[in-house]
Amino acid sequence: MARPPRILVAHQPHHVVQRGHRQQVIFSDPHAYRAYLDDLHSYRASLGVALHAWCLMPNHVHLLLTPGDDPRTVSVLMQRVARQATRRWNLRRDTAGSLWEARFKSRLIDSEQYLLECCRYIELNPVRAGLCESASDYSWSSYQARMGLVDDATLDFHELYLAIGADQEARRKAYAAWCLTHPG
């Protein structure tokens, strides 16, 4: 039986999740995290896909992406990044086969309120999983970039995020306070 087509919509945000095969750890060291991020940023820029939030967990990834005119670029992006991560994984371990359990899952973000909730959900994922006490302590999510704790010009701030404060500092304070009072 054929798989149902994935629903992707141009100029609309999508929450994308991809998990490691059999829930295995896919990021075993900082090099693996950094290489995945390098690929993600390179491919998304060349494909014109906006990246609003991201979190790399040891065994899965969460991304908040908005395609441009061609919504299929989300699939192309995920295919390329997954392929590169799998090649590196197999080369380092002298193995073959899939790193990922299945094709990525994608959920269309269709309400203005849900976009910020999705950002928060993604960036607080390591806190909920017990990997850190505060999102600002986790190096492998967009929270540190959003809060100005690290230099990262690759995060695309969505217009709804930009609307929560008059300037960068006001937005950071509002978002941080919202994350503390609504931990998701």
Average pLDDT in the 14-18 region?
97
* Contact (Cβ atoms closer than 8 angstroms) between residue 127 and residue 138: yes
Termini Cα distance of the chain? 37
pLDDT in tens, 118-176: 999 999 999 999 999 999 999 999 999 999 999 877 899 999 999 999 999 999 999 99
What pLDDT does 49 receive? 98
Instruction: Round to whole Å and give the CA distance between 40 and 173.
Output: 28
Rg, the chain, Cα only = 16
Domains of the chain (ranges; CATH) run 14-181 (3.30.70.1290)
DSSP state of 3: P
What pLDDT does 142 receive? 97
Instruction: Round to whole Å and give the CA distance between 52 and 22.
Output: 28
What pLDDT does 1 receive? 59
* Contact (Cβ atoms closer than 8 angstroms) between residue 108 and residue 14: yes
* Contact (Cβ atoms closer than 8 angstroms) between residue 64 and residue 13: yes
Report the mean per-residue pLDDT for the chain.
Answer: 92
DSSP state of 141: B
pLDDT in tens, 33-92: 999 999 999 999 999 999 999 999 999 999 999 999 999 999 999 999 999 999 998 888
The residue count for the chain = 184
What pLDDT does 9 receive? 94
Of 104, 103, 119, 126, nearest to 13 by C-alpha is: 119
Instruction: Round to whole Å and give the CA distance between 138 and 41.
Output: 19
Q: Is the pLDDT of residue 2 over 70?
A: no
Q: Is the pLDDT of residue 112 over 80?
A: no
What pLDDT does 51 receive? 97
